[in-house]
Structure 1
Amino acid sequence: MISRSLVLLALATPLAALPKPDRAGVVETGPYDYGVMGPPATPAIVAEANKLLATPLPPGPFKPEWESIRANYRVPSWFDDAKFGIFMHWGLYSVPAHHNEWYEKHLYAANLKWHTDKFGPPEKFGYKDFIPLFTAEKFSATEWADLFYRSGAKVVLPCAQHHDNFALWDSKVTTFNSKAMGPKRDLIGELAAASRAKGLKFGVSNHGIENFTFIDPPKAVLERLREAKADLFDPKWKGFYHVADRSDQAQAAFLADWMARNFELIDKYQPDLLWFDNGVNLRHLDPLKLRVAAYYYNRATSWKKEVSVSTKFVAYAPSNKDTEQIGSIIDFEKVGSRSPAGIRPGSWMVDDPIGTSWGYVEGMRVFGPEAILGKLLDTVSKGGFYLLNLAPKADGTIPKEQQDTLLALGKWLGTHGEAIYGTRPWTQHADGKVRFTTKGGSLYAILPGKPGKAITLTSLAEKDGAPAISKIELLGDKGSLKFKRDNKALEIELPATANDPLAQVVKITLAK
């Protein structure tokens, strides 16, 4: 554990005086800046952070070096078969349930008037004042885990800490945690036990490294709160907000604290996945990321468990090529906008929201099972793992609309999961609306929505090199289907029983 005095230093540094992040080696792709959320550290600050945390590396083959991680890491054998998991954004931001899960950031800027009208000015009611209102009084880890199991998910990965610095576990590293405040419960611990009791893999996400510069108010708001010594400048809450002190020494203490929280999550909950958001992407943070990875993987060696870090873009790709990950499963945000356009080799995942916001907000639109299944199919057909994000309410309930989507998805997977779990991509992922997966000697053609009387697949036309077909069936039905095949297409006749409201799955057995 690092010294609390280092975290709570009182030197006030204006935001305008913060150095720009070291952009060396960071490659930007498209409209989203994957490095902007990271703390503006320097190599000297990172080195100091490493010195501040005396926790030794557990015994094992992994050293905090790229070549050591490369030589010893293997993607968990269970991961590429699991295909579907549950993510969730749940925390203090669920209390105001307004705008999105970045409520803390917007409170002091664009949403200041809305917040003031609703709760009062930040001098009287700042973000910290949502802590006692986050009671999670209706939260049942057993009920959540049962829902996730019934949805067909194989992995549960809650957000253990978002950008707002509030930990949802029983922590000795930070006092700003759900056991000491708010719910007075170890929310992560309860959910870990309940999920594993259902046979589900359990991981955690930690977005906390982005907290150091997350709050960025206009100068007038800063000066107003500084003069009043209130909220962001209340000495009692400096270590929660990280606004009043943004000195190099405070930043080093913050980074050491980030590592310590990860070590604690690893030791207390033995996560099967440890997921980081974009804040860890910058190259200058590599020494800290390597230390966390080596710590985690050595611990897992002693547990005799297969585990993995999961990160975005090039966080664990020191070559700055996202196809050259070392010790991490790459994650993409949102199906379509940032996920692969076609089959991508290697192990990867997509995190995707069930509605129009990652965290719960009043009036958010929730996508139905048709839309979510379409994204799952698109991801799996390209070789990926689909991580569906839920948005629970502050009281610990998961809204009915979200539950309905999950249960409908689970019902479909109960009949058609053979075409999803344990599958791999075919030579192409799609033929029009149809998505393909393969397993063993079978090719699965999955047609979303209600079908017509036949499926026509030009990709399976009879031509040189095309696999011979011995049998075609409809999953969930008995008997073989009639089909015609020529040099233009394969046409499969569908029976009246091909009436699943979400998608039909045709199993094509290829001749040996």
Structure 2
Amino acid sequence: MKSIKKLLLLCLVSIAFFSCKDTKKESQKEIKEVKENPKYSADWESLMNHKTPEWFLDAKFGIYCHWGPYSVPEFESEWYAHWMYVNKDNPEAKDGKASSFYEHHVKTYGPLKEFGYKDFIPMFKAEKFDAAEWADLFKKAGAKFAGPVSEHADGFAMWDSDLTEWDAKDMGPKRDVMGELSKEIRKRDMKFIATYHRQWLFGWYPTWDETTDASDPKYAGLYGPKLKKGDNQMPRSMKEIDKGIDRYYPLADKKFNDEWLARLKEIITKYDPDLVWFDNKMDVVSEDIRKEFLAHYYNTADKSGKDVVATYKFYDFKPGTAVLDLERSRMKEKKDFPWLTDDSIDWNSWSHISNPRYKSTNRLIDFLVDVVSKNGAVLLNITPRADGTIPEPVKERLLEMGQWLKVNGEAIYGTRTFEIYGEGDAKVVEGHLSERKNADNTAKDIRFTTKGNILYATVLDWPADGKLNIRALKANSDVYNSEIASIQMLGSEGDLKFSRNEEHLSITLPNKVGDHAFSFRITPKE
């Protein structure tokens, strides 16, 4: 009997052993299949399955900066690197006249054969750059994501690259700017972003012009491929852009495409950005390469269990595969998809210049409130000096925004849209680079956001008569039919008196708190 029991026991152990072994094999097989069968393939249909992460939907506000060798001359704009080469013989010369940049450059620095853009790099020392100080400022400003321009159209990489010597670690500052900022930004619980303009390098410099240093093959690593005179000019009209017509010609060759992608992959490998932002003109790069980038980025994040965002302008990615980004503009109506807008703190430039014209804090806050009410987020560009210091007027505006968000952030962060974005007299002009056409807001302009069953109404200026009247929330409103239990103004204690009639909801205002937009929390009855 004991022999039979022993035999049965041995059989059971053997079955369990081989069963466990088989289970382990199946588990390893599944892991292998996940690695060999990535979630996303490099086609638009597959990439459409990528969802915008909750952290981005909640964040609403980020900061980045145009900072590089183009910051040294401090003249007119960050496009100095391009326009400094536009002499009277350049196809882009208007009316046969050299650009003001060219005239300034030759007068200040000498002929382009002797002093080209490359010669600004040793002058870009960033000797006062302090990544921790920058990150502290971004945090105090209320930003939830931040980072530098990784590489602008000038072709100079702001990271420690193994692919080129023309980078901030090997030249200029001789520091890994992206590495230092990524560490300090994440340390303060903000998401790290990388922004990328390299596609503009294809035709940015007149590599055909033998009278300049840009034609010297010795500097091709910075100035890019040799093109013919007249190649790759700017679009003839914005109407062509809006229609999606190919804007640049010829398209980039395989070598340029491969390096464009290789640098992006290096950024992802070394710095693991939570968001990769792109400037436009990606249509000069092969569509297959663009799809390959998105698949690589999304799959890399998926393997590590990370939620990431990529952005695009115009038609550079297929809608739904990434987040649409506008430039110096906004939507006039609420959208059912999340979007981003990048805008600069300076009306005239994206980089530091000697005669800046900064936007007021009030304008920056009103812009943020309006964008968020329409399902958007703001990426605000700031303008550090070449030495790495941030101008005091820029600091002041960021800190004022941060103070406002400390009081009113409840109506911004983590919110979602209401039935309508708001009401008021302000009319938004849409379109690329249209922000100058939009007037300042008044006390008649009110914007809505929601969080759960709470409704927030933010008025963009203080009503002079001590009453805030909101037409959209009148009695028997089509968009808000809940009974109201209480109303408070953020930053002020106590419930406010209110009444509703067939014309509007009328709120009796408390003492004024702050100098900019004013947010009200409206709680419905259970």
TM range (shorter): 0.7 to 0.9
Give TM-score scaled by structure 1 length.
0.82
Output aligned runs, 1:102-181, within 5 Å: 102-109=79-86, 110=99, 111-181=101-171
Give the drift of 1:209. 1.0
Tell whether 2:337 aligns with 1:346: yes
Separation in structure 1 between the aligned mates of residue 265 and residue 475 of structure 2, nearest angstrom: 56
Asked if the contact 1:88–1:391 (Cα under 8 Å) also holds between the matched residues in 2, the reply is yes
Residue of structure 1 aligned with 2:501, choices 486, 490, 508 = 486
Q: 1:162 to 1:264 in 2, by over 3 A?
A: same
| CA deviation string 1:296-342 (max 9, x = no partner) | 1111112211002111122111xxxxxxx23211101113xxx2111
Separation in structure 2 between the aligned mates of residue 243 and residue 464 of structure 1, nearest angstrom: 62
**Aligned residue for 2:485?**
470
Residue of structure 2 aligned with 1:434, choices 437, 441, 446 = 446
Asked if the contact 1:281–1:313 (Cα under 8 Å) also holds between the matched residues in 2, the reply is no
| CA deviation string 1:76-132 (max 9, x = no partner) | 121100000002111111000112111111001112221011111111100010110
| CA deviation string 1:432-465 (max 9, x = no partner) | 2111111111111111233330101111110265
Residue of structure 1 aligned with 2:219, choices 232, 237, 248 = 237
Residue of structure 1 aligned with 2:391, choices 396, 399, 412 = 399
Q: 1:210 to 1:479 in 2, by over 3 A?
A: same
Task: Give the secondary-structure state (helix, strand or coil) at the position aligned to 1:60.
Answer: coil
Task: Give the secondary-structure state (helix, strand or coil) at the position aligned to 1:330.
Answer: strand
Separation in structure 1 between the aligned mates of residue 359 and residue 252 of structure 2, nearest angstrom: 42
Give the drift of 1:185. 0.4
Tell whether 2:407 aligns with 1:415: yes
Give the drift of 1:470. 1.1
User: Which structure carries more relative contact order (alpha carbon 8 Å, separation 6+)?
Assistant: 1
Output aligned runs, 1:7-156, within 5 Å: 60-71=38-49, 73-109=50-86, 110=99, 111-156=101-146
Q: 1:58 to 1:92 in 2, by over 3 A?
A: farther
Give the drift of 1:236. 1.3
Give the drift of 1:215. 2.2
Tell whether 2:497 aligns with 1:507: no
**Aligned residue for 1:449?**
461
Q: What letter is aligned with 2:142? A: G
| CA deviation string 1:234-288 (max 9, x = no partner) | 2210221125356999832111110000000010000000111111146x72100
**Aligned residue for 2:292?**
291
Give the drift of 1:224. 2.6
| CA deviation string 1:50-82 (max 9, x = no partner) | xxxxxxx986222111122123x1111211000
Task: Give the secondary-structure state (helix, strand or coil) at the position aligned to 2:253.
Answer: helix
Q: What letter is aligned with 2:411? A: A
Separation in structure 2 between the aligned mates of residue 145 and residue 331 of structure 1, nearest angstrom: 24
**Aligned residue for 1:8?**
none
**Aligned residue for 2:273?**
271
Task: Give the secondary-structure state (helix, strand or coil) at the position aligned to 1:232.
Answer: helix
Unaligned runs of 5+ in 2: 1-34, 87-98, 232-249, 425-444
**Aligned residue for 2:474?**
461
Task: Give the secondary-structure state (helix, strand or coil) at the position aligned to 2:48.
Answer: helix
Output aligned runs, 1:169-318, within 5 Å: 169-216=159-206, 222-225=209-212, 231-242=213-224, 244=226, 251-281=253-283, 285-317=286-318
Asked if the contact 1:281–1:312 (Cα under 8 Å) also holds between the matched residues in 2, the reply is no
| CA deviation string 1:197-254 (max 9, x = no partner) | 000000101100110111248x8xx2433xxxxx112221022112535699983211
Give TM-score scaled by structure 2 length.
0.80
Q: What letter is aligned with 1:429? A: Y
Q: 1:468 to 1:250 in 2, by over 3 A?
A: closer
Task: Give the secondary-structure state (helix, strand or coil) at the position aligned to 1:435.
Answer: strand
Q: 1:99 to 1:153 in 2, by over 3 A?
A: same
Q: What letter is aligned with 2:40? A: F
Asked if the contact 2:203–2:227 (Cα under 8 Å) also holds between the matched residues in 1, the reply is no
Q: What letter is aligned with 1:100? A: S
Separation in structure 2 between the aligned mates of residue 300 and residue 223 of structure 1, nearest angstrom: 45
The range that moved more, 130-139 or 302-311, is: 302-311
Q: What letter is aligned with 1:252? A: K
**Aligned residue for 1:424?**
416
Q: What letter is aligned with 2:332? A: A
Separation in structure 1 between the aligned mates of residue 62 and residue 320 of structure 2, nearest angstrom: 23
The range that moved more, 339-348 or 263-272, is: 339-348
Tell whether 2:346 aligns with 1:364: no
The range that moved more, 232-241 or 136-145, is: 232-241
Q: 1:157 to 1:93 in 2, by over 3 A?
A: same
The range that moved more, 60-69 or 390-399, is: 60-69
Q: 1:451 to 1:508 in 2, by over 3 A?
A: same
Separation in structure 2 between the aligned mates of residue 193 and residue 426 of structure 1, nearest angstrom: 37
Task: Give the secondary-structure state (helix, strand or coil) at the position aligned to 1:131.
Answer: helix
**Aligned residue for 1:355?**
346
Q: What letter is aligned with 2:484? A: I
Separation in structure 1 between the aligned mates of residue 120 and residue 455 of structure 2, nearest angstrom: 52
Q: What letter is aligned with 1:257? A: E
**Identical pairs, percent:** 39
Separation in structure 2 between the aligned mates of residue 428 and residue 188 of structure 1, nearest angstrom: 40
Structure showing greater radius of gyration is 2
Q: How many residues in Structure 1 have an aligned counterpart in Structure 2?
A: 435
Q: What letter is aligned with 1:79? A: F
Residue of structure 1 aligned with 2:327, choices 333, 336, 361 = 333
